[in-house]
Amino acid sequence: MEHYWIFADRKENFGIVTKFIPNPDLNQGKSRTHMKPRSWMRYKKSKIYNMRKFKQELGVDIVWQAHTHPSGNEKLHTIDRKILKYLSNGVMIIIIPEKPEENLKGNLIGWYYDKRYTKKPIIERMVFEVISE
């Protein structure tokens, strides 16, 4: 499992991904499973700090965190839901790596989560379209 920062510019009702980089804070060895943060508060503060820093330094509109699901599972895992629940709102991007030997096509799936104003959280799938120039 690998973790990334994804950067995008806002265009009307959608974002165009311009760049992505590995997230060194979370890529501590290649783990095969999700790891619960040691401190939820530190995780949240670090995420907010880094998002603001990247927006200011790189001049981008949108900053997302992403991680891989090498198994090909597009759904949110239990720990993904716990992280989003703690943050109360946010986006989680899941990267499905391409594996031709297992007949697995690469994909990018986004999940929008918002529990600020309702008892039951709003969880919506975000559609990504890969366009090559």
Say if pTM beats, i.e. exceeds, 0.75: yes
Residues 66 and 76: their CA atoms lie apart, in Å, by: 12
Averages of pLDDT over runs of 10 residues in the chain (133 residues) are 87 83 70 72 88 92 88 87 86 87 84 88 84 64
Residues in CB range of 24: below 8 A, 6 or more apart = none
Of the CA atoms within 13 Å of residue 67, those in its CB half-sphere come to 25
Of the CA atoms within 13 Å of residue 3, those in its CB half-sphere come to 18
Please tell me the predicted confidence (pLDDT) of residue 53: 93
The DSSP bridge pattern shows strands 14-22 and 107-114 to be: unpaired
DSSP H helical ranges for the chain: 40-58, 78-87
Residues 110 and 66: their CA atoms lie apart, in Å, by: 9
**Are the CB atoms for 113 and 122 separated by under 8 Å?**
yes
Please tell me the predicted confidence (pLDDT) of residue 10: 87
